[in-house]
């Protein structure tokens, strides 16, 4: 019970101090609109909003969570307020779960902003919402942990941003959202399959447009494996680098 009081207060503190700040809220609104507009301009005629939805949702989560977590953690490390959390009598796994929960929730909310926009523009019937929710959750978890990996690797906030892009931009083109994995050159395919976003995007494609190429169960199991593996790796990195 005592640990949960701490968990809840860490989550609320992060929500209030970072995620519910106007710049982050506007990011959640501007990002999907900008992506949709970009594809609209590229096509020259118009876009199938439903076709775009898996990509815009995935990228909203990826960009939202990695940016926010990497920057806020680096900021807290710089100001030494993160030390206060490390000095609290909380198990490190539990503490990191509390710290990442805010970013995961932020990612989930970000994912549904484009869905809300899309509901005014296209028919969303026939979508498997349960698997969409599962995929959104697991993409948010893996992207958040990627943000944590970045935070542990850098010291300055600007480094966090630069390092995030190093991972994010290749992911956009390799995860099968805009270029199907089957259409990628064979030497790039293995790279695509080591990215968790590939499996999350595939679930979204299957659930929204029935055009995924891997089975749902396989995708979910692999994403779950990625989540657990990345969490264990993050804890190891925190212990190695922040409790030195």
- Give me the residues that bind other proteins (CB under 8 A), please: 1-3, 5-6, 8-10, 13, 16-17, 79-81, 83-91, 243-244
Residue 41 burial class via C-beta count within 10 angstroms: exposed 0-12, middle 13-18, buried 19 and up: exposed
Nearer to other proteins by C-beta: 46 or 89?
A: 89
Nearer to other proteins by C-beta: 213 or 239?
A: 239
Nearer to other proteins by C-beta: 186 or 244?
A: 244
Report which DSSP code applies to 211. -
Token pair, residue 171, equals 């992911």
User: What 3 state SS string does 138-184 have?
Assistant: HHHHHHHHHHHHHHHHCCCHHHHHHHHHHHHHHHHHHCCCCCCHHHC
Nearer to other proteins by C-beta: 39 or 75?
A: 75
- Rounded to the nearest whole angstrom, what is the least distance from the CB of residue 160 to other proteins in the complex? 19
Nearer to other proteins by C-beta: 86 or 116?
A: 86
- Rounded to the nearest whole angstrom, what is the least distance from the CB of residue 188 to other proteins in the complex? 39
- Rounded to the nearest whole angstrom, what is the least distance from the CB of residue 47 to other proteins in the complex? 40
Report which DSSP code applies to 80. T
- Rounded to the nearest whole angstrom, what is the least distance from the CB of residue 95 to other proteins in the complex? 9
- Rounded to the nearest whole angstrom, what is the least distance from the CB of residue 235 to other proteins in the complex? 14
Nearer to other proteins by C-beta: 98 or 139?
A: 98
Token pair, residue 128, equals 């498997």
- Rounded to the nearest whole angstrom, what is the least distance from the CB of residue 237 to other proteins in the complex? 14
Residue labelled with tokens 């990442």: 100
Calpha distance 230→29 (Å, rounded): 28
Residue labelled with tokens 């494996």: 225
Calpha distance 205→209 (Å, rounded): 5
């Amino acid at each position: 019970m005592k640990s949960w009081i701490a968990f809840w207060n860490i989550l609320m503190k992060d929500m209030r101090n970072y995620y519910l700040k106007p710049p982050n809220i506007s990011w959640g609104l501007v990002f999907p609109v900008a992506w949709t507009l970009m594809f609209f301009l590229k096509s020259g005629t118009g876009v199938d909003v439903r076709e775009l939805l898996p990509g815009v949702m995935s990228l909203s989560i990826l960009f939202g969570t990695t940016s926010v977590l990497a920057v806020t953690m680096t900021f807290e490390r710089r100001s030494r307020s993160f030390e206060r959390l490390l000095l609290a009598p909380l198990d490190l796994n539990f503490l990191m779960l509390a710290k990442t929960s805010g970013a995961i929730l932020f990612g989930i909310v970000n994912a549904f902003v484009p869905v809300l926009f899309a509901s005014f523009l296209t028919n969303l019937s026939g979508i498997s919402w349960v698997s969409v929710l599962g995929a959104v959750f697991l993409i948010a978890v893996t992207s958040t942990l990627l943000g944590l990996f970045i935070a542990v690797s850098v010291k300055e906030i600007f480094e966090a941003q630069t390092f995030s892009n190093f991972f994010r931009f290749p992911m956009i083109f390799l995860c099968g959202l805009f270029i199907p994995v089957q259409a990628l050159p064979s030497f790039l395919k293995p790279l695509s399959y080591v990215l968790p976003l590939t499996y999350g995007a595939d679930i979204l494609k299957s659930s929204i447009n029935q055009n995924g190429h891997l089975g749902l169960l396989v995708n979910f199991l692999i994403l779950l494996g990625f989540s657990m593996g990345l969490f264990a790796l993050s804890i190891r990195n925190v212990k190695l680098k922040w409790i030195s």
